[in-house]
């Protein structure tokens, strides 16, 4: 009774093999990640302190902290989020809920997907041409944020559409059947049940914007700018600013005799900022999912 057949044996072997291979793939992804983070923190350790965060770079960026770069990144990310999130989410709502399926909307959807794959340096050149030169904004936080917004928009639109179309069509039909308009259906049923997915997509784009160097290099980020340390209103949106990613690039390639720990410490701060944003996104998603109602 219940003896293993030849087929059973080979099935068991395949099962074992699949488990090992898949597990190894996960390990090959996780282990380097922890090695990188561990190495960065170890090298940066002598410099890491609250003081490092809240003081400006000094001595040709060989000493001091990274306050002006950190604040610059926060400005860029916040402003680009304020521009891209409403436009992206509302555009996605239109495309998913209102637009009829025609050749025109199909072209728009195709364009969105393709724009998401455009390299960031191309967005940078577009931002330089469109915002800095043509619109006459000049190199500034505003121009750089607009460029970052343009870069993140397509992905925000695509991920929002994904979240919206995960809401079952039967919910919408039920609402239409009782005489609710499209907007009432969207506000009452569709948005509350897709908000967790929408926010996840938006916040992941925030962390991407924080890490990009190319789009801000041409449009508003500078090597060095002196601002009041510890004052979060030290920049105006018409100013040029420093940014973490740009700062890291500068001190590793341009400043030859900076202390060894400095670029590592900058990298840790940049990484920490991105990880904090991602953690926020995960937390928000867990919270909103727990309120999901089907």
Partner 1 sequence: MDDESHTHPLIRVQDLKVRYGHREVVHGISFDVQKNEIFAIIGPAQSGKSSILKCLNRTLEFIADAKMSGSVEVDGVDVKKVHSVYELRRKIGMVAPLPVGLPLSIFDNVAFAPRASGLHDKHELDALVQRCLEQAALWDEVKDRLNSLGTKLSGGQQQRLTIARALSHQPSILCLDEFSIAIDPVTTMRIEDVLKELKAELTVVLVTNLVQQARRLADRTMFVWNGEVVELDSTDAIFSEQPQSRKTYDYVHGIFG
Binding residues for partner 1 (CB under 8 A): 100-101, 170-181, 184, 188-189, 192-193, 292-294
Minimum distance, C-beta of residue 113 to partner 1, in the bound complex (Å) = 20
Minimum CB separation of residue 156 from partner 1 in Å reads: 24
Q: Considering the complex, state which of residue 39 and residue 176 has its C-beta at the smaller distance from partner 1.
A: 176
Q: Closest separation between CB of residue 116 and partner 1, Å?
A: 24
Q: Name the nearest CA neighbour of 144 among 212, 231, 89.
A: 212
Q: In angstroms, how far apart are the furthest CA atoms of the chain?
A: 84
Alpha helices in the chain (DSSP H): 6-44, 50-54, 67-93, 103-116, 120-127, 141-165, 169-177, 182-185, 195-211, 214-217, 244-253, 261-290
Taking the complex as a whole, the smallest distance from the CB of residue 107 to partner 1 amounts, in Å, to: 16
Residue nearer to partner 1 on the CB measure, 109 or 207: 109
| Of 56 and 193, CB closest to partner 1 | 193
Distances (CA, A) of 121 to 55, 126, 147, 181, 294: 31, 9, 10, 43, 43
Q: How far is the CB of 183 from partner 1 (least distance, A)?
A: 10
Task: Give whichever of 53 and 180 is closer to partner 1, judged by the CB atom.
Answer: 180
C-alpha distances in Å from residue 37, one per residue of 26, 34, 265, 277? 17, 5, 11, 16
Backbone angles phi, psi at 14, to 5 degrees: -60, -40
Q: Which is nearer to partner 1, 180 or 229 (CB)?
A: 180
Task: Compute φ and ψ for 58, nearest 5 degrees.
Answer: -135, 170
**What distance in Å separates the CA atoms of residue 165 and residue 101, rounded to the nearest whole number?**
14
Query: To the nearest whole angstrom, how small is the minimum distance from the Cβ of residue 163 to partner 1?
Result: 15
């Amino acid at each position: 009774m219940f003896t293993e057949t030849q087929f059973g044996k080979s099935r068991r072997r395949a099962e074992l093999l699949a488990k090992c291979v898949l597990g190894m793939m996960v390990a090959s992804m996780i282990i380097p990640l922890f090695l990188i983070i561990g190495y960065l923190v170890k090298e940066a350790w002598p410099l890491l302190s609250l003081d490092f965060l809240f003081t400006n770079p000094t001595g040709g960026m060989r000493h001091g902290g990274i306050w002006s770069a950190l604040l610059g990144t926060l400005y860029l990310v916040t402003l680009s989020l304020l521009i891209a999130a409403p436009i992206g989410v509302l555009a996605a709502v239109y495309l998913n809920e209102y637009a009829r399926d025609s050749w025109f909307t199909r072209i728009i959807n195709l364009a969105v997907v393709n724009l998401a794959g455009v390299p960031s340096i191309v967005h940078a050149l577009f931002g330089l041409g469109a915002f800095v030169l043509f619109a006459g904004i000049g190199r500034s936080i505003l121009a750089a944020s607009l460029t970052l917004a343009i870069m993140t928009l397509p992905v925000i639109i695509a991920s929002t559409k994904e979240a919206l179309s995960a809401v079952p069509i039967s919910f919408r039909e039920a609402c239409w059947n009782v005489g609710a308009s499209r907007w009432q259906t969207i506000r009452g049923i569709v948005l509350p049940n897709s908000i967790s997915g929408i926010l996840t997509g938006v916040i992941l784009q925030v962390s991407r914007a924080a890490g990009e160097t190319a789009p801000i290099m041409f449009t508003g980020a500078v090597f060095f700018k002196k601002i009041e340390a510890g004052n979060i209103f030290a920049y105006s949106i018409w100013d040029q600013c420093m940014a973490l990613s740009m700062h890291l690039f500068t001190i590793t390639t341009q400043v030859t005799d900076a202390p060894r720990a400095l670029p590592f410490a900058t990298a840790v701060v940049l990484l920490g900022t991105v990880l904090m944003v991602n953690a926020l996104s995960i937390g928000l998603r867990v919270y909103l999912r727990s309120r999901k109602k089907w």
